[in-house]
Chains A and B, each alone.
Chain A
Amino acid sequence: DVKVTQSSRYLVKRTGEKVFLECVQDMDHENMFWYRQDPGLGLRLIYFSYDVKMKEKGDIPEGYSVSREKKERFSLILESASTNQTSMYLCASSRDGNQPQHFGDGTRLSIL
């Protein structure tokens, strides 16, 4: 079974801090994704990556950056955290564009 592991289940940070969310998958998948999930707004794509060192902006990239130095790891970075980035963050991976995505359990991030 594919396992997608997110480093923290819950995280509390302060406004202005630089925040790192880590995601690791163990199935050698090409594609990795970062979403945020807010009540009534569904899953919104922040960034995705289809290869090492490659990244593409999703629908809401502002205030975020990503890093993919190794195939199995995809990091989401909040450069200067703000309260409107309080949300549930979900990481996902897929073998390719024609396969379903496998999700991690999510990180519930609170910015105070």
Chain B
Amino acid sequence: EDKVVQSPLSLVVHEGDTVTLNCSYEVTNFRSLLWYKQEKKAPTFLFMLTSSGIEKKSGRLSSILDKKELSSILNITATQTGDSAIYLCAVTGTNAGKSTFGDGTTLTVKP
């Protein structure tokens, strides 16, 4: 059974801090790892990492996939209050149509 573990479960920081969120996984025939951000409503897609694309960056957010360690990190630099959200990690394996999600990391950024 596929498994995704995220850490920490919650995190409180102040504006301007840099944070690193962790995701480790066990999956049969790894295809991709995805990061989503969930504020009040629907999760929204951030990054997809695959064997052919192990680093992604968008503005202050970046993510790296470590296939050897079966893990990924999501970095957010110069955090803002608008970064407060639940960050979800998901992996896709043998059954390509299906993703397994972790429990999420709740990030709170204080002014």
Please give the residue numbers on chain A whose beta carbons come within 8 Å of chain B beta carbons, in ascending order: 4, 31, 33, 35, 40-45, 48, 50, 56, 58, 90, 94, 96-98, 100-106
Contact = CB atoms under 8 A, between A and B. Distances in A.
B103 A42 contact: yes
Interface of B: 9, 31-32, 34, 36, 41-45, 48, 88, 90, 92, 95-104
Contacts of B45: 100-102
A96 B48 CA distance: 14
Contacts, number: 60
B99 A101 contact: yes
Contacts of A35: 101
Main secondary structure of the interface of B (DSSP, over half): strand
Contacts of A106: 41-42
A98 B98 contact: no
Given A97-B31, A98-B31, A48 B42 contact: no
A104 B42 contact: yes
A56 B96 CA distance: 13
A40 B44 contact: no
B97 A97 contact: yes
Which 9 pairs, one residue from A and one from B, show the smallest C-beta to C-beta distance? A97-B96, A42-B103, A103-B42, A43-B101, A100-B45, A105-B41, A97-B97, A50-B97, A103-B43
